[in-house]
């Protein structure tokens, strides 16, 4: 199971799983979940083609609003021929031809179909997927005993929502609420109810995070931007793969991760990939600084579209070709 993480987190890490798999008499604890989910036809694992693509999906899960919105979408590309690997962050606000954001794809059409728009955007056929909800993410970090993360830059978020406080009126009267509703709309209205939020602060540099804090760190939306958030997600992935993996972690992962990888596929991938230290790893964000433009949908939503034109991903393909 460690190599699910190694593959998904950028093909960098140790061979602790392989050592464990050779020694343990209970490989059955590492199981594939949702094996019926299919994307583009998986490529054969061999040394001839040597190109493998996976997607890591983070979503809220039960108890969260928009429980199946995939607000973390990271594509992992590995080319064993060129010895290159890449983490590609796809922004959640990228607008799709169905007139909705890509983070709603799983809600609209099911997790089994999210590989299709990703293929259109990146020109990469998705062979494997791994998804985890917020609760599972926190549990994984705590099982690891916390992680050390190198915070890319100092930021504050004064409006991180407190779970269960979404409807708290913060002591305001009905008259006061009525007046606020006449004066404010949207998030400007929400900000008037400060008791619904907590203030987050992170200083640039290394910090040790437990599961709950790591989740806040990657979910925070008002401290910088969605592009800043993808940087933070990369930082957390690095923190995860820097940890040694115990059998307890493997058992936890097998319970919280949804994937179409099975144990034989993982073993074959380990054999085909070879030594992770030989690979050049790139971290790529699709942003307004390179291939995207900010825009608005017909109903006024903030969205991102390709600079080449609505639903024209030709420049995205060319940009990603540089890292293959």
Averaged pLDDT, 43-70: 70
Query: Is 161 inside a domain boundary?
Result: no
In a domain, 185, yes or no: no
Per-residue confidence (pLDDT) for residue 193, from 0 to 100: 96
* Residue 248 maps to a domain: yes
Report if residue 118 sits inside a domain: yes
The CATH number given to whatever domain includes residue 264 is 3.40.630.190
> What is the overall mean pLDDT for the chain?
80
Instruction: Count up the domains in the chain and report the number.
Output: 1
Whether 182 is in a domain gets the answer no
Q: Is residue 10 part of a domain?
A: yes
154 has a pLDDT exceeding 80? yes
Here the tokens at position 95 are: 């607008």
Q: What is the pLDDT of residues 221-244, one digit of tens each?
A: 887 777 788 889 888 888 887 776
Q: Is residue 217 part of a domain?
A: no
Query: Of 26-35, 62-71, 111-120, where does the model show the most confidence?
Result: 111-120
Of these ranges, 5-14, 48-57, 149-158, 239-248, the one predicted with the greatest mean pLDDT is 149-158
Between 314 and 139, the more confident residue is 314
The helix, strand and coil proportions of the chain, stated in percent and rounded to the nearest 5, come to 40, 25, 40
Model-level pTM?
0.77
Of 256, 264, 258, 218, the closest CA to residue 237 belongs to 218
Domain assignment present for 201: no
Concatenated DSSP letters of 105-163: HHHHH-GGGTHHHHHHHHS----EEEEEEHHHHHHHHHHTT-EEEEESS-EEEEEEEPT
* Domain around 286: 2-145+225-321
Alpha-carbon gap, residue 130 to 135, rounded angstroms: 15
How many distinct helices (H) and strands (E) make up the chain? 12, 12
176-222 per-position pLDDT tens digit: 999 999 999 988 999 999 999 999 999 999 999 999 999 999 988 88
Angle at the Cα of 92 from the Cα atoms of 89 and 94, rounded to 5 degrees: 95
Residue 80 has pLDDT above 80, yes or no: yes
pLDDT value for 65: 59
* Banded model confidence at residue 42, pLDDT cuts 50, 70, 90: very low
């Amino acid at each position: 199971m460690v190599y699910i993480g190694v593959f998904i987190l950028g093909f960098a890490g140790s061979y602790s799983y392989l050592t464990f798999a050779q020694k343990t008499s209970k490989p059955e604890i590492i199981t594939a979940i949702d094996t019926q989910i299919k994307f583009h036809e998986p490529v054969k694992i061999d040394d001839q083609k040597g190109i493998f693509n996976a997607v890591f999906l983070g979503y809220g899960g039960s108890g969260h609003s928009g429980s199946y919105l995939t607000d973390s979408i990271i594509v992992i590309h590995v080319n064993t021929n060129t010895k290159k690997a890449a983490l590609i962050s796809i922004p959640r606000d990228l607008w799709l031809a169905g007139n909705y954001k890509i983070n709603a794809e799983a809600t609209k059409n099911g997790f089994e179909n999210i590989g299709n728009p990703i293929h259109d955007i990146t020109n990469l056929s998705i062979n494997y997927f791994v998804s985890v909800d917020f609760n599972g993410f926190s549990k994984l970090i705590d099982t690891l005993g916390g992680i050390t993360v190198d915070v890319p830059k100092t930021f504050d978020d004064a409006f991180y929502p407190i779970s269960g406080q979404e409807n708290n009126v913060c002591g305001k009267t009905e008259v006061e609420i009525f007046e606020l509703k006449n004066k404010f709309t949207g998030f400007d209205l929400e900000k008037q109810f400060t008791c619904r939020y907590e203030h987050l602060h992170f200083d640039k540099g290394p910090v040790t995070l437990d599961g709950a804090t790591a989740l806040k760190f990657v979910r925070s939306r008002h401290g910088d931007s969605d592009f800043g958030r993808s940087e933070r997600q990369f930082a957390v992935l690095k923190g995860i793969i820097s940890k040694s993996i115990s059998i307890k972690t493997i058992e936890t992962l097998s319970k919280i991760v949804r994937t179409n990888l099975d144990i034989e596929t993982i073993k074959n991938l380990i054999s085909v990939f070879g030594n992770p230290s030989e690979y050049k790893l790139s971290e790529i964000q699709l942003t307004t600084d390179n291939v995207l433009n900010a825009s608005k949908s017909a109903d006024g939503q903030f969205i991102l579209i390709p600079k080449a034109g609505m639903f024209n991903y030709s420049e995205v393909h060319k940009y990603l070709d540089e890292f293959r």
